[in-house]
Amino acid sequence: MTGGLADLAVVDPALAERVGVSAVQVGIVLVGGPLLLGLMGKLRARAEGRVGAPITQGLADLRKLLHKEAIRAEPTSAVSAMAPVVLVGSAAVAAALTPLVSTRPVSAGGADVFLVVYLLLMGSIALALGGLDAGTAFGGMGSSRAMTIGAISEPALLVGILALAVQARTSNLPGIVKASLAHPGWLASPQRILALGALVVVVIAETGRIPVDNPSTHLELTMIHEAMVLEQAGPDLALTTAGEAMRLGLLLGLVANLFFPWGVADSGGGLAIAVGIFALAVKASALAALIALIEVSTAKLRLFRVPELLAGGFVLAIVAVTIGLVSR
Amino acid sequence: MRPGAELDIVELAGGVVLAAAILALWRKDLRALISLLALQGVALATLAAVLAVHDDDVSLGVVAGVVLVAKGIVIPGLLARVVRSDPGSRETSPLVNVPASLVAAAVLVVVSYLVTGRLSSLFPDALTRLAPLGLATVLVGFFVLVTRRKAVSQIVGLLLVDNGIALVAFLLTAGFPLLVELGASLDLLLVVVVLQVLTTAMRARFGHVDLDQLRELHD
């Protein structure tokens, strides 16, 4: 940059591109999360012989909730006000950092596995605190259950991704995706198969799908997530719902890109980004369809057997890491 | 073996064999165990077929066919009939609970990697590098044999051990000779048939097929 141009172009074009990519990713996760939920609902309904709500129902619900009056239970503190914001904020930051559309989001060097997993964990904690804040029995019960499950599923998520990190010799998420793009032979390696099994279990648990939690009922014996948000209404509920949908979209997109990195943009340029968006949509929809299929074909597990399911996922992840460490 | 698509399929098949063994510890539903066995059989047959094509080895191709028919189709089919005929016992009753068994499986995988490391370093190769997967499958199979008391889960454990041995054999020595593989497959088939007859007789006499209950002699 020289002379007069420097005044106009104070922003480095490469940085601007990265920021643009990140903004696109956050937007996609924000819109795509509810759409994926809608898709899963639609597939389930069709498999059960119902017509089902349109795929865009989630977005319509969000719009409706946002126009409602903001109302909170009387004894709630600032935690209730902050919880939905922290949930959405942490999901948005994680979405901006992870390689969803392109391997070059903003601050790609800092997009570490641990950072992204702990950003997601921050959202879960905020949600659990929000559930406790109103002081009702259901909120506390839901939070306690969510934390019990989270305590087993978060390590499995971390260790599962670590298996890929060992193979790629970097814990940087864009680095892992880039390395997998460069070595197509890795996609079939034993540790990846085991890690994929582990992460599918984790995604089901983290997003509260059927063998772990049933998102469509309010049955006090079994509900986990719905119990935490019982006291929320209006814009708060809209934010929480959006945050949960974003986490679902983010996790599905992350798992899809880590294991099947085809189509992720590795260079700048509008065309590569467009291909990346299209590929992400296809892959995330395919994974969502797989999870919907699991939901239709299994019954909800008894709460006390959920740790068994998650322990299975965790052990698969551990074995994957072991194979990766020993056989490299 | 040159790196490429063939090696990818071999790695994938080896991974599927071990994953199926671990999942067999995880699932309690006997029918799920049997479909896992069938999956393992198909993966083994695919692995043998790829090696046969790569080495232009006709007898290995025949072995792949035998493995596919025996371990992928016939034995799981027979076991499924045993389970169907006894609706009272659809779940395994493990002596060690599932999370503990899974942890044990993780330890067994580590052990097999530590033990086989020296073996594969004798002849470092893309195939010998995968041999620990087979040994781990054998160990997990033994674990199933020791801790699961239903007659069907015992046979599942035995078949896991056999599949693990077959995997090691394919990876290290490009398979058993045709005659040995045929004999082993026939033996297994015979064992499964005997088991089917035995469980039917046991149920007729005692009303259950739990091996732990068979402690006293009856007339």
Angle at B73 between CA B181 and CA B156, to 5 degrees: 75
> How long a stretch of residues is chain A?
328
- ipTM surpassing 0.90, yes or no? no
Q: Whole-angstrom Cα distance, residue A196 to residue A157?
A: 10
User: Mapping DSSP to helix (H, G, I), strand (E, B) and coil, where does residue B150 land?
Assistant: strand
Taking only the tens place, the pLDDT of each residue in A135-194 is 888 889 999 999 999 998 999 999 999 999 998 988 899 999 989 888 887 888 888 888
Inspect the interface and report whether the beta carbons of A188 and B105 lie closer than 8 Å.
Answer: no
Amino acid identity of residue B214, one-letter, is L
Residue A173's nearest CA partner among A252, A108, A219 is: A108
Amino acid identity of residue A320, one-letter, is A
Residue A143's nearest CA partner among A230, A24, A249, A56 is: A230
CB B213 within 8 A of CB B206: yes
Residues of chain B below pLDDT 50: 1-2
Amino acid identity of residue A18, one-letter, is R
Nearest to B14 among A187, A190, A312 (CB): A190
B93, two tokens = 């009753």
Nearest chain A residue to B14, by CA: A190
A225, two tokens = 């997530």
Find where tokens 């590569």 sit.
A272
Residue B173's nearest CA partner among B16, B60, B4 is: B60
Position A54 pLDDT exceeds 70: yes
CB A129 within 8 A of CB A288: no
Identify the band that residue A278 occupies on the pLDDT scale cut at 50, 70 and 90: very high
Residues sharing a CB contact under 8 Å with residue B4, sequence separation 6 or more, in sequence order: A185
Nearest chain B residue to A198, by CA: B19
Predicted pLDDT of residue A129 = 94
Helix or strand run (H / E) with residue B204: helix B178-206
Helix or strand run (H / E) with residue B141: helix B131-147
User: Mapping DSSP to helix (H, G, I), strand (E, B) and coil, where does residue A27 land?
Assistant: helix
Neighbours of A185 (CB within 10 A): 12
Predicted pLDDT of residue A9 = 52
Position A6 pLDDT exceeds 70: no
CB B79 within 8 A of CB B192: yes
* Mean pLDDT score of chain A: 87
Predicted pLDDT of residue B158 = 87
Inspect the interface and report whether the beta carbons of A311 and B102 lie closer than 8 Å.
Answer: yes
Chain B residues with CB-CB distance to A194 below 8 A: 15, 18-19, 22
**Terminal-to-terminal C-alpha distance of chain A:** 46
Q: Whole-angstrom Cα distance, residue B53 to residue B10?
A: 12
Predicted pLDDT of residue A82 = 93
Q: How far is B33 from chain A (nearest CA, A)?
A: 15
Taking only the tens place, the pLDDT of each residue in A103-122 is 888 876 778 899 999 999 99
B20, two tokens = 């199926």
Q: How far is B8 from chain A (nearest CA, A)?
A: 6
Identify the band that residue A277 occupies on the pLDDT scale cut at 50, 70 and 90: very high
Chain A residues with CB-CB distance to B106 below 8 A: 315, 318-319, 322
Three-state SS sequence of B13-81: HHHHHHHHHHHHHHCCEHHHHHHHHHHHHHHHHHHHHHHHHHHCCHHHHHHHHHHHHHHHHHHHHHHHH
Taking only the tens place, the pLDDT of each residue in A288-300 is 999 999 888 888 8
Strand partners, B210: B150
Chain A residues with CB-CB distance to B127 below 8 A: none
Taking only the tens place, the pLDDT of each residue in B139-191 is 999 999 888 877 778 888 888 998 998 888 888 876 667 777 777 777 888 88
Q: B75-102 burial, b if ≥16 CB within 10 A, otherwise e?
A: bbebbbebbeebeebeebebeeebbebb
Q: How far is CA A211 from the centre of its chain?
A: 18
Q: Where are the domains of chain A?
A: 13-148+173-183+213-298
The predicted model scores a pTM of: 0.84
Phi, psi of A211 (to 5 degrees): -60, -20
Interval A78-87 mean pLDDT: 93
Which positions 296-315 of A are in contact with B (Cβ < 8 Å)? Answer: 307-308, 311-312, 314-315
Residue B92's nearest CA partner among B146, B29, B144 is: B29
More confident residue, A304 or A287: A287
Predicted pLDDT of residue A242 = 94
- What percentage of residues in chain A have a pLDDT greater than 90? 45
Taking only the tens place, the pLDDT of each residue in A196-240 is 989 998 998 888 888 888 777 777 777 888 888 888 888 999 999
How many Cα neighbours within 13 Å face the side chain of A66? 9
Q: How far is CA A69 from CA A50, A135, A235, A326, in A?
A: 33, 22, 7, 58
- Mutation pick from B23, B26, B116 vs chain A, by most beta carbons of A within 10 Å, is B26
Predicted pLDDT of residue B2 = 46
Identify the band that residue A3 occupies on the pLDDT scale cut at 50, 70 and 90: very low
Nearest to A189 among B15, B106, B113 (CB): B15
